[in-house]
Amino acid sequence: MPDLPLLASVKLEQVLVLGGFLFAIGLYLSLAKRNAIGILMGVELMLNAVNVTLIGFSRFVVSPRPLDGQVFAVFVITVAAAEAAVALALAVAVYKHRDTINIDEIDLLRW
Amino acid sequence: MIEDTGIVVAFWVLALTTVGCAAMVAAVRELIQAVLFLALSFIGVAGIYIVLSADFVAVVQVLIYAGAIAVLMTFAVMLTPAADRKNSETTFAGPALVLAGLVLSVIVFVAYDTSWNISGRAAFPSTAASLGEAFLKPYVVPFEVASVLLLVAMVGAIVLTKEESADA
């Protein structure tokens, strides 16, 4: 496809831009959403974006141990699972006391 | 650089699906639909991993993200029935959108402006064996720490959501 040089091959730059899109959407979700579960979804998307870039670097960049990127991605997934479990437990615990998980109504510590 | 036509087409289809589903998470007005689009986006990311010859990580992604975390989020939505489920935004939506756009443009600029040290390496063969070796040889300490972290997170989640007994 000579008329579409951008689309004709998969290069590191395109993987990084894909990761950038996912990260930006995750950042927007975690900053803008009102529901605590929505915020958590944004955090998970950002972690996924980082994993995409790690795997992309592992595939394309010169390195003495190229599989290290995939090892780091598995560690990120582990930490993300732990973080999701604790964060959702926190949301349920807050809901038991306040009957809401909207972050703009949970303002006990606001000055 | 991957030039195999099938893989290139798969990459673009998966990339569009992933980003589109992620955008739908922000756009839909029903929280449970947002969770489902998020699960779809996770599966798309797993496909991207396969394109980038990370087969083991792709399986882990489907199991943990599309399986465990999506189910966990669905449960969290269902356990908070009286909470607002409209997936609405706070007053920070405008600034957050501007900030996300700025971050995206910086990432795109850096990605294209840097001269990366690209190798012409072929795709990895199956990675599970060499990943297992990496976990149990150079990365054995972080591997064990991760297992302790999972245990602590599990105990913490149980303690946080436990019903308080009458005599406590």
Section A87-100 average pLDDT: 89
> Which pLDDT band, with edges at 50, 70 and 90, does A108 fall under?
confident
A67 close to A40: Cβ distance less than 8 angstroms? no
Q: Which of residues 40-79 of A touch B (CB under 8 A)?
A: 40-41, 44-45, 48, 51-52, 55-56, 58-63, 65-68, 70-71, 73-75, 77-79
A74 close to B147: Cβ distance less than 8 angstroms? no
- Residue A107's pLDDT is 81
> Which pLDDT band, with edges at 50, 70 and 90, does B167 fall under?
low
Q: Does domain A12-98 have CATH number 3.40.630.30?
A: no
The count of other CB atoms within 10 Å of the CB of residue A31 is 18
Tokens coding A6? 């951008």
- Residue A64's pLDDT is 87
pTM of the model: 0.91
Put simply, whether A85 touches B (Cβ < 8 Å) is yes
- Residue B166's pLDDT is 58
Q: What are the angstrom distances between the C-alpha of A98 and each of A94, B155, B168?
A: 6, 23, 21
Tell me which amino acid residue A69 is: G
Section B77-96 average pLDDT: 87
Q: Which residues of B touch A78 (CB under 8 A)?
A: 146, 149-150
Strand partners, A102: A35
Residue with tokens 């063969």: B125
Give residue limits of the domains in chain A: 12-98
Query: Chain centroid to CA B30: how far?
Result: 21
- Residue A3's pLDDT is 54
Choose the closest CB to B112 out of A13, A24, A73.
A13
Whether A85 has a pLDDT exceeding 50, the answer reads yes
Task: For residue A43, give how far its alpha carbon lies from the nearest alpha carbon of chain B (Å).
Answer: 12
B32 close to B85: Cβ distance less than 8 angstroms? yes
Whether A7 has a pLDDT exceeding 90, the answer reads no
Q: How far apart are CA A3 and CA B99, in angstroms?
A: 34
Q: How far apart are CA A44 and CA B117, in angstroms?
A: 29
- Residue A1's pLDDT is 44
CB atoms B161 and A92 under 8 Å: yes
Tokens coding A91? 């949301």
- Residue A63's pLDDT is 87
